[in-house]
């Protein structure tokens, strides 16, 4: 059993800090490692490019009403384009912002932490930002609050219904009440790590970040705009994959969270929205062949030295929760840590938060990770200064066009 989980399978305080989640009664809304799910090896909906592979199923009536189909909800009916949106997690909010509907957001989970982190990415896109100070936290420390749902009265709630129904004090009937009384509940949480959901597993499908972004764009009837975003993403992936070094020449990579003198360890080569900024780079996982009971492992300095990754990526290093400069010093001062190849070769880097994904943030994350892993192919990563926006990349070393992405998000489709 992972040290992240208590004896009864529920998350500990360390999980709360790691993901910036909130402990909800006996469970964690974020569902990090104590969610009872196991990593899925079946990926029937997987694609080779992490981009939409087929048109999103939508239907439009003569009265302007329309529907969008996504697992696990099935076909969801909309009377009109939502004007108010409960965004909940950062990847949903990023999807709304990417298609020009950021102003419709009324809430975000832990807005100070996640909203501020999102602006570290948006800083580089003219006209794109998130006014997180105006957003309500739907989970203000004592559980997912039903009253806040009714107070906000949003037209759509971007959160997975299976996840919501599994929270303390909630049931599937409560979720149905929200959808009936207020507006649709639309989301798919368990695509984050492709783990088996606690209910409706037989009808649950997994999506990539781009596939889910396409579904959310359809909610806003922004399919044309999203096709342009998908084109940016596809071109970025084509550029990366056409320049990847041979597999045998790639460094071994470990993604970790440093806490309490030990390391929580994460898979890097497996799919899932939370890994969207790394798995397309086809890294050599330093922990390949090692097993642990949950999706997150736990090891001490000696265990990490045994794996001895060439590159050490500090999870959430671009947020306030991991100070990478201090971690580098801690590693260099430790009798075992200083023997790590990544420490000796100055290849300990700040990595993004698992939560900071979406059409916009994943583009920045892929560029960052590509430069950290393969500097000869994609240019040197200039380094991240704790508490600051992502660093400026010289225009001739950028892997995607910032102005083009900003124009799509702010001006719309030119189709």
pLDDT digits (tens, 9 = 90+) for 81-94: 999 999 999 999 99
CATH of domain 58-223: 3.40.50.1980
User: Given a cut of 60, is residue 54 above it in pLDDT?
Assistant: no
Same-fold call for 58-223 versus 239-411: yes
Across the chain, what does the average pLDDT equal?
A: 86
pLDDT digits (tens, 9 = 90+) for 231-249: 999 999 999 999 999 999 9
pLDDT digits (tens, 9 = 90+) for 275-318: 999 999 999 999 998 887 777 899 999 999 999 999 999 999 98
Q: How confident is the model at residue 59 (pLDDT cuts 50, 70, 90)?
A: low
pLDDT at residue 195, rounded to an integer:
84
User: Given a cut of 80, is residue 382 above it in pLDDT?
Assistant: yes
Beta bridge partners of 256: 265, 314
pLDDT at residue 200, rounded to an integer:
81
pLDDT digits (tens, 9 = 90+) for 337-354: 999 999 999 999 999 988
The residue written with tokens 């062949």 in the block is: 289
Among 3.40.50.2300, 3.40.50.1980, 2.40.40.20, 3.40.50.150, name the CATH number for the domain at 239-411: 3.40.50.1980
Asked if residues 325 and 384 have their Cβ atoms less than 8 Å apart, the reply is: no
Tell me the three state secondary structure of residue 299: strand
Asked if residues 86 and 107 have their Cβ atoms less than 8 Å apart, the reply is: yes
Beta bridge partners of 118: none
**pTM, two decimal places:** 0.86
Q: In the chain, where are the structural domains located?
A: 58-223, 239-411
Distance CA 51, CA 34 (A): 30
């Amino acid at each position: 059993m992972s040290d992240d989980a208590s004896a009864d399978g529920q998350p500990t305080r360390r999980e709360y800090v790691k993901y910036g989640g909130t402990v909800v009664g006996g469970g964690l809304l974020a569902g990090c490692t104590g969610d009872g799910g196991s990593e899925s090896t079946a990926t029937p909906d997987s694609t080779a490019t992490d981009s939409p592979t087929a048109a999103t199923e939508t239907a439009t009536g003569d009265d302007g009403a329309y529907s969008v189909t996504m697992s696990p909800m099935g076909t969801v009916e909309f009377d009109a384009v939502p004007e108010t949106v409960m965004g909940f997690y950062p990847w949903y909010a990023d999807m709304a912002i990417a298609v020009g509907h950021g102003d419709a957001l009324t809430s975000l989970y832990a807005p100070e932490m996640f909203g501020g982190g999102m602006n570290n990415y948006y800083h580089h896109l003219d006209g794109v930002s998130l006014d997180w100070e105006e957003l309500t936290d739907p989970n203000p420390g004592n559980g997912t609050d039903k009253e806040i749902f009714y107070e906000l009265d949003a037209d759509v709630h971007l959160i997975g219904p299976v996840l919501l129904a599994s929270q303390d004090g909630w049931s599937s009937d409560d979720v149905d009440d929200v959808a009936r009384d207020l507006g649709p509940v639309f989301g798919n949480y368990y695509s984050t790590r492709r783990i088996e959901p606690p209910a409706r597993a037989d009808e649950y499908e997994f999506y990539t970040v781009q596939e889910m972004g396409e579904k959310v764009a359809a909610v806003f009837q922004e399919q044309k705009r999203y096709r342009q975003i998908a084109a940016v993403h596809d071109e970025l992936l084509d550029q990366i994959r056409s320049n990847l070094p041979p597999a045998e020449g790639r460094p071994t990579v470990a993604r970790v969270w440093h806490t309490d003198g030990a390391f929580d360890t994460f898979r890097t080569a497996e799919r899932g929205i939370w890994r969207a900024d790394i798995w397309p780079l086809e890294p050599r996982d330093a922990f390949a062949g090692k097993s642990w009971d949950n999706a997150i492992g736990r090891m001490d300095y000696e265990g990490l030295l045994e794996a001895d990754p060439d590159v050490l990526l500090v999870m959430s290093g671009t947020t306030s929760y991991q100070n990478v400069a201090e971690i580098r010093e801690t590693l260099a001062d430790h009798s075992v840590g200083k023997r790590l190849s990544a420490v000796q070769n100055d290849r300990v880097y700040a990595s993004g938060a698992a939560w900071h994904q979406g059409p916009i943030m994943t583009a920045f994350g892929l560029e960052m990770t590509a430069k950290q892993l393969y500097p000869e192919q994609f240019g040197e990563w200039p380094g991240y200064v704790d508490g600051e926006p992502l660093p400026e990349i010289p225009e001739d070393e950028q892997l995607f066009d910032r102005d083009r992405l900003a124009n799509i998000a702010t001006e719309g489709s030119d189709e």
